[in-house]
């Protein structure tokens, strides 16, 4: 049950690992001794066995188990965006089933309009980053640090190399709404007493020769 996890990491710094191309300039070993929440397939890609995987898609849980993944996975029984039910098979002992909320992703103001009323649900959003940020707060994080959750392109690439081995989805049209919603959620978490920061993969964007392009900033 999700409620059993509330406050389990009280006072800690929790790192939230996204899937952007910032990973192409990071060393995953840095995160192995840290409390991490990995979005969708990130933990599998970098073999971060101690990370908690959070996904809005049951397919991620199935993929993880097919690959012999023995870490904790938090995922629903159906995919909210497409209404696709999961095949009726037993779930892994380290899978926590998330209850989908009423369809509220388009309601404003976000996130207060969709803030869960009890401890059985996570906050949902346009990107898995949003339930992951809420889950970090739910776990009791004093500080949240997002990693590779940039809502933009590093040197023209949106995702880490190898994250999408086949067809890469077009995401650029979503960056603006992701930025707006992520900023709003960060502000709400700060209001509730949790600091929120972002780790960049460079010492200084202008010194290391990388370019970044997002909906509100272009550097290099």
Report pTM.
0.89
Q: What is the pLDDT of residue 157?
A: 86
pLDDT > 90: what percent of the chain?
46
- Mean local confidence (pLDDT), 124-151: 94
Q: Say which residue, 134 or 164, is predicted with more confidence.
A: 134
Taking the CA atoms of 218, 209, 146 and 195 in sequence, report the sign of the dihedral they define. negative
Parse the chain into domains and list their residue ranges.
2-219
d(CA 55, CA 78): 11
Q: Which structure tokens are listed for 139?
A: 């776990």
Q: What is the mean pLDDT of residues 161-178?
A: 77
For residues 108 and 130, give the distance between their C-alpha atoms in angstroms, rounded to a whole number: 15
Q: How far is 168 from 217, CA to CA, in rounded Å?
A: 23
- Residue by residue, DSSP assigns 160-198 as -TTSSSSPPPP-GGGHHHHHHHHHHHHHHHHHTT-EEEE
Mean pLDDT of the 85-112 span: 71
Model confidence at 207, pLDDT cuts 50, 70, 90, reads low
Q: Cβ contacts of residue 220 below 8 Å, gap of 6+?
A: 205, 206, 209, 210, 211, 212
């Amino acid at each position: 049950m999700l409620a059993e996890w509330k406050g389990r990491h009280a006072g800690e710094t929790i790192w939230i690992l996204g899937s952007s191309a910032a990973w192409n300039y990071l060393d995953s070993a840095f995160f192995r001794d840290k409390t991490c929440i990995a979005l969708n397939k990130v933990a599998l890609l970098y073999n971060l066995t101690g990370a908690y995987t959070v996904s809005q898609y049951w397919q991620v849980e199935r993929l993880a188990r097919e690959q012999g993944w023995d870490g904790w996975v938090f995922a629903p029984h159906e995919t909210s965006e497409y209404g696709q039910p999961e095949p009726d098979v037993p779930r892994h002992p380290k899978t926590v089933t998330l209850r989908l909320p009423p369809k509220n992703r388009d309601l404003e103001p976000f996130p207060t309009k969709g803030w869960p009323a009890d401890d059985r649900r996570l906050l949902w959003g346009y990107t898995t980053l949003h339930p992951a940020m809420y889950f970090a707060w739910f776990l009791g994080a004093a500080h949240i640090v997002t990693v590779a959750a940039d809502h933009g392109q590093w040197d023209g690439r949106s995702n880490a190399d190898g994250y999408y081995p086949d067809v890469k989805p077009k995401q650029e049209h979503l960056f603006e709404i992701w930025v707006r919603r992520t900023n709003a959620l960060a502000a709400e978490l700060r209001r509730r007493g949790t600091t929120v920061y972002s780790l960049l993969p460079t010492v200084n964007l202008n010194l290391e020769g990388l370019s970044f392009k997002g909906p509100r900033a272009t550097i290099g």
